[in-house]
Structure 1
Amino acid sequence: MDRSWMHADRRSYKYKLGVGLFCQFAVDHARDRNHICCPCTNCGNVEYFSASVIKDHLFVNGIDPGYEKWTEHGEVDVESAGSESDDDSIELESLESESVKDNIGADCEVELDSDVRLEGDEDEEISSERNEFRQFVEDANKPLYPGCDRHTKMNVLVRLYNLKAKHGMTDAAYSDWLIAFSEYLPTGNEIPTSVYEAKKVLSALGMDYRKIHACPNDCILYRKQYADEIRCPRCGISRWKECKNKKEREGVPAKVLWYFPPIPRFKKMFQSVETSKNLTWHATERNKDGFIRHPADSKSWKLVDEKWPDFGSEPRNLRLALSSDGFNPYSSLSSKYAVGQ
């Protein structure tokens, strides 16, 4: 199969798809999903991490371009396996078409530059998102186990994942918890058996996130022109976390920004007929009689329409507002300040 993505720009959509394909392949063939050798240029298949950490390394360090045969991750050598290579190729192509795009939204940790999309990929991505959303609706209504009329697969999974985040549970502990929990449920239950499978299901909600390395002093984010830097160009502090003996743990970031992209959420909003109708109400059903009845009647809204007429004329345009019910600028826990003060 084509592995030219290994030589592509790390910011490109092609590389992003390739990393997703590789990680899916590695997880499916791993004996221990939390102990997979990392093929990045720094680790060279010597160090072992979970799939999510390996993704970090592949985007930050790049994959070893000479590692064309994934023999360390379960691939059979074509020269020694003969006819088995055809089966491997078919299996990998199936993984690419069915599994990779479902997984990319859950763990992708590098911003995708829109100018480098491959031709035709955008339409395929939209089609994939629609299929994911349909699957999400089916899962939301699917009973937790045959005959269960109180809980669905989705509401139980969301609650369990919230508990994982609330108590800081590791991925390994969460996977073991899911396995133990499913053993106490009737046969045929819908509980996933690992955190990886749980994330794939929840990614259809549009709640994907991106982890971006940051300077410990909040000087910069390690992205775009700083993506390959290992020290902050402003304060000089290392990008990597230090151990107690002051030794740097290369590949482990000292600080991480969790970025929740808004665009996937906007897309999900318009995939609901009722919600999309409400979102366009200001343009289709609003009473325009000169009185202020809606934010669209305000001067600020009209100013945006006048300044960007193409945007203002689109009924599906969305406008965001920043709001806060209080803030604490002086770290004094005994007092709060309202926005208007």
Structure 2
Amino acid sequence: MDKSWMHADRRSRTYELGVEEFLRFAVENASDVNNICCPCSKCGSIDGMISARVIKDHLYFNGVDESYKDWVWHGEPSRATVNANEGESEATVDMVEDGDAADNIGLGDQEEKGASEDEEFFENGEDEQYSVESNDFMRLVEDGDKALYPGCTKHTKLNALIQTYNLKAKHGMSDVCYSDMLIMIGIVLPEGNEIPGSHYEAKKTLATLGMDYKKIHACPNDCILYRGQHADASSCPTCGESRWKLGKDNIEKQGRKDEFMRHPADAPTWKLVDQKWPEFGNDPRNLRLALSSDGFNPHSSLSSRYSCWPVILVTYNLPPWLCMKRKFMMLTLLISGPKQPGNDIDVYMQPLIDDLKALWDGIDGVYDAFRGEYFKLRAVLFWTINDFPAYGNLSGSVTKAYNGCPICCENTKPHRLSHGQKMSHIGHRRWLPRHHPYRRLTKEFNNLPEFETAPEPLSGEEVLKRVEGMT
């Protein structure tokens, strides 16, 4: 195959045609079209295992490795293999020409037998070094001899990789932390170093050492493992449970309607919104949000005069195992300063409140990629998630002193401790059932029985009425 294009200008038509011809050859000889060695000058024919489309980009951006003359990593036999094959064929022809007829017949049989042996040798012998497993092992051997960076004589790529991975396991680093550490090391080391750029690349290299794993399905009732004779079974031969679908008990459990709350969709607030604004509830694409905020000192020092208040929106339109994941939360505000905002946090919340009002009215022209249509997106804020002091800051409600309970308000039962002079709130037995035995106990509490009922929380209209006119 013509390889003169490897020395041509990357902007030329010759280079373009050569790249196309190479990719066609590599795809035809690849066992997995998504895992082909990249011959660009950066990957060096053995480091990159990517798809043909990405290789094409690499060849145009990085150029081809001109020292890669024999495409042994892409299905081309090595020169030694070709020379040995040609030499053996020539020797066989000379022997046939010099022999007699009887010998020719015997040599013909030997040729036929020898050809089959050669084919078997090339299939199972020398060419075996170009199988996927052998390629991985050869890469590992080369990594063991490859200097960590140009001029380094103390450490190799494999040695550095093993040491950093041992550090990850010893100190319990997360995958993201380990990837960031590799990037930092790669920046610190001289240019041209061999440090992997991510945890994925490091793990792919170490998997050759036998550190990979294999997932094996199990019966939901712990009857069998789907391996060996049951590797392709779709149901358990012991109990008949499906391998791929949830059992009846799990399906009933997921769709069961009872007093337990398994998702915010089971909360009264969700149902109230659907009943009060049915046009909002009829479209499942409308967002149900919760707001969470709290202050912290990022410097982990109480003496540091710095405060940071992140304001995060949580989306409840996702399954319960996803809605509280970090990547599905939205950091909408980051309030920082020399001191915490306190009750003045409402000043900093104004941009978010304006956005929430706009979302409640609806945003036209939002594109639904799944349905291929535009729709009007709306959102509603359900509640806030915070501790008690932050609750007081966000709501503007009193959370200390004589009326410190935002539920009881003026019906709070405060009691100032005689020695510590701190305010405590009693009367929590009012929320117990009417005939609960704790209501009649006296010495264990405040020496008085409890006969009152729990106060009713204020409704939204009552709260609005109380704060009307306040500036």
- Fold shared, TM-score > 0.5 on shorter chain: no
Q: Kindly indicate whether structure 1 or structure 2 has the higher relative contact order, using CA contacts under 8 Å at least 6 residues apart.
A: 1
Q: TM-score, normalised by structure 1?
A: 0.33
Q: TM-score, normalised by structure 2?
A: 0.25
Work out which of the two has the higher radius of gyration on C-alpha atoms and give 1 or 2.
2
